[in-house]
Chain A
């Protein structure tokens, strides 16, 4: 290769002139020697000009992506924060999708950049733009997701992550983003933490559960941490733990069985003495595992669950009796507790002037709209499932497996047409089977 092909000027020329994006991507990716590629990309033009000032952030998305991501990791090539923000806001997703690994590098670079300036808050905006614009739609998981959540937590901006978190992940495409299993674990683990921070327990529970039940031959350490947090969140939101789905890795419950968390679960919520002694004794462990905050919340809520149990047994009860049953000394505290529970809708009760509490349980009411919306979403769900089913029946893997299952060794590439016809019939059969 001629030496001038290695200079950025030449590459720049190619970026600005070419119309064939995949060819350009190929050149950028493989046309440069491996060792010096990043250096070349992050160097200035021969005229000393900044290449980014020459390129259009929108039209030359792919080229800018390469240069930006290289620069962010280079030690001696300054980048302006404004350029990054602007790029994330303007880039063309179609172009960027030619080089998913560069997108990952860019996202990492943004985090690094923010860390270098001790300004995580700044990184939230470009990452959010990236995350909303890069994938086909919000149901795809990308490598940017965990980075974004991490940044939100670091910047103490958990609410910023909510729009992303509220669209559940249901699509995985390794062609769109160079994912590893870790990205999935991390994303859901961090999502759980964010929801827990915001005291959105039901959502937190779901995210932790997804993390815990991620498929795998061996349990990951992160899953164990997620399981611990899941248990705590369940205690907070329900007062008891729910069984894990069957597909969770069987080693996880075994590992947690002998831990202090199981002790905590067993003593919850009635045995308040045991709870406090456990907290005293294991404070250090909880703190090092970064669960102290949750554990404290768990224990603080113990009286609520004890009280809730009482409502199933009694119609009326004196404040004094409740205090005794729940394990609180003063009646005033009990009164405050009951009031707060009534306010949050945990129980329905009335306190009379004489200190008698009357519990009632009004039957659950549903409006027509609620029922309709539930029915609507059920229909949608079934459509999705049907579509999936068809997609599955069409898929190459399924067809080849179905063929193999029926008759080993039958069907070569030359018999494509025939095979297709046959396997359709089989696919239908096995659908009913």
Chain B
């Protein structure tokens, strides 16, 4: 893992503030590529590897080899081109040239040709089938035809066509269960494609379908229930709600991702934290996301946006989410350190795992901002109980130099997060003392004066309108008069 890269190790907070273009992996920030990628299967593994190749030169070589291996298990030879171009780009940009891609691993051309041929054959087969179904006008068959074609196109990486077929299948849905199935397929497709903007629409549609479906299912059970014994009925009811929960978890996950993508971290945090257990996800686990990822997303979003009490109840006392947290033990450390106000450890952990975060495809665009928010929150929380504090002590608590602390604090004061003022000479931070009585007086008097002035202006305006002295013709009035008068 430790590939030597002659680049400076961007220490300290400045490293965080801008999103690193290239991610460094070294002793301080270890990253286990094999372990990481073994959590995934299918396309997402390759997608993730491409992401890693393009932003982390240190891992590019290894990731490239892994990617080629994974491609051989898929049905989409064109992925190789993407991997190759990402690799070439990074090796061209890097200071030390990486070994040529062709030397490392190349695509098995025979396999590629075979796969292409197989794909071609399957496509023709499916299209013919769909045509037959359409001719027969059997709705259900047409729907399945579209669905199969959608699945097929998705597996070969033609997302727009896949989406087209999925949405088309909607017209032939007869039950809400089918609509739900369609929505889930589209959601999976969108997530894989990292096209977040449409997620809420389909989540919404799926929600409606889900309600309808479970209502229908419950009704059906009622009907049967009359005949069957009480015990099985209960079982079946439970089965319905389990089914519902399973789907709900997927929907929640999609919502969470879209909130994350749009930068609404608080909403994302709540969505992540209420996800059901991993088994609910079925084949999404691994194909889209790993349990560890959920832990990381959830905790980072929560740390950045939720108050302490919520953190405690939602993460530490949440047994379902606890299972996810077990996957990434450092995340628990992070939360515990945060809750015990051990901010130095928090920041160290964040720094240590920054590469892990930046190499994640969903998290990567937000790492910088999330880290910033967590750090700012930490500073705000730390200062809260004090009326005044020496910056030295803060620097000890956060593991920064005094200058860094001052810079940080000043920034927070200026954006209004901390109500305080810095004694730059003696390096002390004072909480702001407000004389509420005086402030109230000042505000009331100012409001009174403002209202009077406004009244006067509005009254004049009213009079003007009453006298019909409104500005009418734009043509007859030119700026020449204005110029003339300004000249004086």
Contact = CB atoms under 8 A, between A and B. Distances in A.
Given A213-B457, A316-B424, A364-B438, A170 B413 contact: no
A225 B486 contact: yes
B471 A219 contact: yes
Contacts of B485: 150, 153, 186, 189-190
A289 to B, nearest CB: 8
Contacts of B472: 181, 216-218
Interface in A53-86: none
Interface in B470-488: 470-474, 477-479, 481-483, 485-488
B457 A290 contact: no
A156 to B, nearest CB: 9
Contacts of B467: 172-174, 179
B471 A218 contact: yes
Interface in A216-241: 216-225
A184 B469 contact: yes
Of A189, A209, A315, A365, the most chain B CB neighbours within 10 A belong to A315
Interface string B183-220: 00000000000000000000000000000000000000
B426 A316 contact: yes
A216 B470 contact: yes
Interface in B440-466: 441-442, 445, 448-449, 451-461, 463-466
A151 to B, nearest CB: 10
A210 B460 contact: yes
Interface residues of B, number: 51
Nearest to B437: A363
B425 A356 contact: yes
Nearest to B443: A364
Contact of B471 (A214, A312, A364): A214
A77 to B, nearest CB: 27
A217 B461 contact: no
B439 interface: yes
Contacts of A245: 454, 457
Contact of A363 (B413, B438, B487): B438
A221 B478 contact: yes
Interface string A164-187: 000011111110000111111110
B430 interface: yes
Contact of B445 (A174, A216, A317, A370): A370
B470 A181 contact: yes
A381 interface: yes
B445 to A, nearest CB: 5
Contact of B487 (A210, A290, A378): A290
A206 interface: yes
B303 interface: no
A173 B441 CA distance: 39
Contacts of B423: 314-316
A315 B410 contact: no
Nearest to B436: A363
B455 A217 contact: no
Contacts of A378: 448, 452
Given A181-B469, A184-B464, A185-B471, A313 B449 contact: no
Interface in A308-336: 309, 312-318, 321
Nearest to B409: A313
Interface residues of A, number: 64
A216 to B, nearest CB: 3
Contact of B469 (A179, A313, A318): A179
Nearest to B484: A150
A377 B465 contact: no
Interface string A350-389: 0000001001000111100011001001100100010010
B438 A365 contact: yes
A314 B469 contact: no
Contacts, number: 151
A33 interface: no
Nearest to A355: B425
Contact of A214 (B442, B454, B461, B479): B461
A221 B483 CA distance: 10
B470 A313 contact: no
B414 interface: yes
Contacts of A206: 453, 457
A363 B435 contact: yes
Contacts of B483: 290
A422 interface: no
A217 B438 contact: no
A32 B466 CA distance: 34
Contacts of B410: 313-314
A312 B413 contact: yes
B429 to A, nearest CB: 9
Given A181-B469, A209-B457, A313-B422, A170 B463 contact: yes
Nearest to B430: A315
A309 B430 CA distance: 17
A321 B486 contact: no
Contacts of B442: 364, 366
Contacts of A411: none
A174 B425 CA distance: 65
A154 interface: yes
B413 A215 contact: no
B211 to A, nearest CB: 43
B421 interface: yes
Contacts of B428: 315
Nearest to B429: A315
Contacts of B454: 245
A386 to B, nearest CB: 12
A247 interface: yes
Contacts of B449: 374
B447 to A, nearest CB: 10
A123 to B, nearest CB: 13
Contacts of B414: 309, 312-313
Contacts of B452: 377-378, 381
A170 B445 contact: no
A134 B64 CA distance: 92
A79 B358 CA distance: 89
Nearest to A168: B456
A221 B439 CA distance: 41
Contacts of B465: 215
Contacts of A377: 448, 452
B260 to A, nearest CB: 31
A370 B425 CA distance: 38
A267 to B, nearest CB: 18
A190 B486 CA distance: 9
B436 to A, nearest CB: 10
Nearest to B442: A364
A213 B482 contact: no
Contacts of A290: 483, 486-487
A231 B481 CA distance: 21
A286 to B, nearest CB: 12
Interface string B227-263: 0000000000000000000000000000000000000
23 contacts: A170-B459, A189-B485, A217-B470, A218-B473, A220-B474, A222-B482, A223-B471, A225-B482, A245-B457, A290-B487, A313-B421, A314-B410, A315-B421, A315-B422, A315-B424, A315-B428, A315-B430, A356-B425, A365-B438, A366-B445, A371-B445, A374-B449, A381-B451
Closest 6 A-B residue pairs measured CB to CB?
A216-B471, A363-B438, A221-B479, A172-B463, A290-B486, A363-B435
Interface of B: 410, 413-414, 421-426, 428, 430, 435, 438-439, 441-442, 445, 448-449, 451-461, 463-467, 469-474, 477-479, 481-483, 485-488
Interface of A: 150, 153-154, 168-174, 179-186, 189-190, 193, 206, 209-210, 213-225, 245, 247, 289-290, 309, 312-318, 321, 356, 359, 363-366, 370-371, 374, 377-378, 381, 385, 388
Given A183-B469, A221-B479, 18 more contacts: A170-B459, A181-B471, A184-B469, A189-B485, A206-B453, A215-B465, A215-B471, A220-B471, A220-B477, A223-B471, A314-B410, A314-B421, A314-B422, A314-B424, A318-B424, A366-B445, A371-B441, A377-B452
